Amino acid sequence: MVSVLRRNFYVIGIIYALIALVIFPKWTIDDAYIIYRYADNLAKYGELTWNVGQDPIEGYTGLVLPVILALFIKLGLSPVLMGKIIGIGSYFLGGLLLALALKKLEVSDLARSIALLLYFTAPFSFSHAWGGLETTLYSAMLMMCTYLLLNVVTSRQPRQSAEIWLCVALLFTSLVRPEAALLAGISFLAILYIKRRGRKGDLRAFVIRFILIYAIPGLIYFLWRWQYYGQLFPNPFYVKSNPGLISKGSLLSLALFTIYYLLIPTLVCLAVYLTHPRRVRERLSERYFSGAKSGVKIALLAILAFAVLIYLQYLRSRLLINFEFRFFAQYYPIFLLFVGAFLSAGCGVLQEKGQNVAKIWIGLLVAIQLAVNVAHLNKYRFLRSAYEDMITQEHIPAGLFVRESVPPEEWLIVVHDAGAIPYYARHKTVDFGRLNNEYLLQKKLSQSDILDYFFSFNAGAVVMTSFKWNEVSQLWIFGREAEQIVHDPRFDRYVLVKKYKTDAAPGSPSSEYFEFLFLRKNLYAAWNSGVNLEGQGKGSQL
């Protein structure tokens, strides 16, 4: 009976995950619509850019998702729907790959079940699976690379196919998110170190494979995108660059993520270790560090080094849209891999010593973590439901209004939510959120330069986010630009025609988040002469 229970822990987690996905809001993060716009422009016009016919800009983070979605658009499928299918499919794929990696490390049934149970009950995963970004795809591909790296180092004989698949996976993952290039470099060095005492022919063959499969295609792509976009890194990289050494917001986010989701599993491992420290170390050495298993040690150190270096880089960045610890959560399966490996060795020692009290403490700590996960799931459901209302009742109606009421040759300016609004408007758009704008990221721009830039477009429509219903009020990462713009005398050429709000009750996160839509006066006159003054949708017509 105990054996059956051990083997079915992860099945309980999968059932929980399926139920959670069903009851979770089917929301889409505003930034995902940026990817959809790039995919749409690629599919329909052959240009992987923000504004068709304008200088190319790289406002997305990785190539893979917009290209895949462009293919689906070509087939007549919705990128919004396919983005969710990819997100959910990648979430379950990540769990499968974590299970395979744990099995490759010969982790016991109990330890593997605990790690998988924590994976499938992690509450932040459901936000990312539905959100529409590449988060779960990237996380799954990291586990793919981890599994294949372990497969290479645990092979008793050199396996050409294993090394080829690892290089392919590393290339694909680097195109999902460029951070994975660091994993590729560290994996390459790790395998070189392992092979250094072997036959020189094997070492030389691996280097040639890595160069042909990863390095050359990666360099070709890098040179193409550098020539096409004119920047070394994607535009979001510069937006998120923090002027200081450490971003306080990112540090706080990591601290909370650690407290909520990493601390208790770490305490479980510590409790196991403290029961018999010497014997646990010996068992770990037997399993992963000594003799023929030394390659596993190098691979695990390489994976750990990658995760630590990436976390340090994230701490130096202003992590915009870091909902549900998005940037840190991507590496959660790697953490669980180490938890599973450590628990497997530790629980084996407890089994030898008959330490039932320690097992009870482990079970209690795991139960506490599961209780935290369930509680946070309800919190995230509430937050994402409010966000979904904001997108469907404010952003999408505003975008559709611009598409229907503003001539297609006119410019649209969005300050600052440039996701769903431009996607549904289909107009050329100036993104004052900077993700899709190089000019506004120049460090030497004065306030006057920014205002002149705004008015130089003579945009037909302007949409501004506001945190107050009676006035444009916004404290953003780039300062109070919205207030400065509307108080400039040149803004007299615009008329406020609609305000959008949700029907949320007071206290909801979306109850104090509004979109103000302005039209240039001549366009307002043309629109006003042919509309019903009762208003449209949930927007309030003024």
The span from the CA of 109 to the CA of 7, in Å, is 6
pTM above 0.85, yes or no: yes
74 residue type, one letter: K
Q: Where are the alpha helices (DSSP H) in 316-331?
A: 326-329
Q: Which residue has the tokens 């509430």?
A: 382
Tokens standing for 265?
């599993």
Say if residues 120 and 17 touch (Cβ distance below 8 Å). yes
Question: Within a 13 Å sphere around the CA of 56, how many CA atoms are in the beta-carbon half?
Answer: 19
The span from the CA of 331 to the CA of 342, in Å, is 17
pLDDT of residue 258: 97
Looking only at the bridges linking them, the beta strands covering 411-415 and 461-466 are parallel
The span from the CA of 401 to the CA of 531, in Å, is 12
Q: How far apart are the first and last CA of the chain?
A: 69
Of the candidates 337, 324, 333, which has an alpha carbon nearest to the alpha carbon of residue 142? 333
Distances (CA, A) of 166 to 5, 45, 243, 340: 34, 34, 36, 23
pLDDT of residue 534: 37
Helix and strand element counts for the chain (H, E)? 24, 6
Say if residues 300 and 341 touch (Cβ distance below 8 Å). yes
The span from the CA of 537 to the CA of 393, in Å, is 8
Q: Which residues contact 329 (CB under 8 A, 6 or more apart)?
A: 122, 124, 125, 128, 135, 139, 257
Burial of 217 per CB tally in 10 Å (0-12, 13-18, 19+): middle
Q: Where are the alpha helices (DSSP H) in 196-293?
A: 200-210, 216-229, 235-239, 248-257, 263-275, 277-284
For residue 416, is the peptide bond before it cis, meaning its omega torsion is within 30 degrees of 0? yes
Q: Which residue has the tokens 């050199």?
A: 158
Name 411's bridge partners.
428
What number of other Cβ atoms are within 10 A of residue 47's Cβ?
15
- For the chain (542 residues), the mean pLDDT of every run of 10, in chain order, is 57 94 97 97 96 95 96 97 98 97 91 94 98 97 97 77 95 97 96 78 87 97 94 88 84 96 93 84 80 80 96 90 93 97 83 66 88 96 95 97 96 95 97 94 91 97 94 79 94 96 88 95 87 46 53
The span from the CA of 534 to the CA of 190, in Å, is 68
Of the candidates 184, 231, 237, 243, which has an alpha carbon nearest to the alpha carbon of residue 210? 184
Say if residues 381 and 24 touch (Cβ distance below 8 Å). yes
What number of other Cβ atoms are within 10 A of residue 312's Cβ?
10
pLDDT of residue 129: 98
Tokens standing for 344?
């497997």
The span from the CA of 421 to the CA of 427, in Å, is 10
The span from the CA of 414 to the CA of 75, in Å, is 30
Distance of CA 6 to the CA centre of its chain: 32
Rounded to 5 degrees, φ, ψ at 166 are -65, -45
With vertex at residue 370, the alpha carbon angle to CA 84 and CA 312, rounded to the nearest 5 degrees, is 65
DSSP class of residue 442 equals -
Name 540's bridge partners.
499
The span from the CA of 477 to the CA of 471, in Å, is 19
To 10 degrees, what angle do helices 135-154 and 124-131 make?
110
Say if residues 495 and 519 touch (Cβ distance below 8 Å). yes
Helix (H) or strand (E) holding 481: helix 481-486
With vertex at residue 142, the alpha carbon angle to CA 139 and CA 148, rounded to the nearest 5 degrees, is 145
Q: Which residue has the tokens 């990785």?
A: 62
Tokens standing for 195?
């092979």
pLDDT of residue 384: 95
Rounded to 5 degrees, φ, ψ at 505 are -75, 155
